[in-house]
Amino acid sequence: MITIIKKIKVYGPAFKGIQDILLIGGKIAFIGSDISADFQNGIEINTMDGEGKIALPGFIDSHVHMLGGGGEGGYKTRTPEIMLSDLTCAGITTAVGCLGTDGVTRNMMSLLAKANGLDEEGITTFIYTGSYQIPVKTLTGGIIEDLLAIDKIIGVGEIALSDHRSSQPSYDEFVRTAADVRVGGMLSGKAGVLDIHLGDGERGIEYVFRAIEETEIPITQFLPTHINRNPHLFEQGLNFARKGGYIDFTGSEDPQFSEQAGEVSFGKGVKRLLEEGISNETFTLSSDAQGSLPVFNENNEYIGLGVGSAKCLWTEICHAVLTDQIPLEIAIKGVTANPAKILKLQGKGRLEKGYDADLCIINEATMEIDTVFAKGQLMVKQKEPMVLGTFEKR
Ligand code: ZN
């Protein structure tokens, strides 16, 4: 499978100018000007004109409820599984799956099967072991064992803290879990990240601050998520990032509305980080896709539960760039180079020679996702006007 993309603006995530990109066998073989490939023997070369387009690394979504989630309003509020196109059409070529509140009717075996299925369909997947609860319900009987035995398991999560739906673990139970995921990560050569769901509770990330003060566990082992759900929690998150910790924003399909509802949008949050001189390598953005989401009407009244969409990643990035003047090459770090580094995902998150041929190509004029490649395979094809025919013809 050989593809040449001609004359495209490349953000890798840093801006690299207008270049040609050569994809061979699922990898980026070369990025440079005027690549010409002259193959004989009928080898097929797929050429794409990149004019008016932007190439970004395929997005990494570090928090996806692949099996669906919810159920918190009774059985009828359980949300559906994600489909491949929900991810690829949103520019996502790498996804990390997790369970949520419900680790009983959905379990690790079915999450692993779902992740394997998405992988077979062409994207790259990983999973966290566990759900909201401590003790963590693992696949093989232990956290360290799971990390050692199952390639796809790269950490534990999402463990719920400061939330009425959490298992209200004691501090000791929490620290013990963090210790296991740390050791499991070390022994298996993986990130061993503890992905932490934070609710609206006053305590916020108190346990995590205490753990980094009282134990030897490195701060980089923790990845608190939903950090932008309210201003109080976000201030704690800023503090955490100042100390060298990583924080994960949860995207919204309507950033303006979520700002009005009291959340801190990705763009506003990143702006604060940059203003305070905090490294732009500390943040990630994830979708929480297929999780259940409260839905409000225009008067801000609760009207029921909806389903989170993976599309929010690109929506938030566009909002951050257009409304908050965050440079594109910084904004996209949250879904490319940063999660790749934090989660130790080799060959991911950058457009560079030797990296996986995961690309999200944007139409510059419309700012829409145009074409997506995952491991060199065309997953979403450049949009062409749909011809439905006319009544006369029928
Ligand atoms: Zn959550």
- pLDDT tens digits for 13-34? 999 999 999 999 999 999 999 8
Q: How many CA atoms lie within 13 A of 210 on its CB side?
A: 10
The answer to whether 376 touches 357, Cβ cutoff 8 Å, is yes
Locate 220 and state its tokens.
């980089």
Q: What single DSSP character describes residue 391?
A: T
Active-site hit among 20, 146, 288, 324: 288
CA of 176 to the centre of ligand 1 (A): 21
Q: Where do the H-state alpha helices sit in the chain?
A: 84-88, 108-120, 143-149, 171-188, 206-214, 231-242, 255-260, 266-275, 312-322, 328-331, 337-342
CA of 334 to the centre of ligand 1 (A): 18
Q: What does pLDDT average to over the chain?
A: 94
Locate 354 and state its tokens.
């030797």
Q: Is the pLDDT of residue 304 over 50?
A: yes
- Tell me, yes or no, if 86 is annotated catalytic: no
Q: Please state whether the predicted TM-score (pTM) of the whole model is above 0.85.
A: yes
Residues 103-144 pLDDT 10s:
999 999 999 999 999 999 999 999 999 999 999 999 999 999
Residues 31-61 pLDDT 10s:
999 887 666 677 788 899 999 999 999 999 9
How far apart (Å, rounded) are the C-alpha atoms in residues 197 and 312?
18
CA of 296 to the centre of ligand 1 (A): 19
How far apart (Å, rounded) are the C-alpha atoms in residues 65 and 151?
19
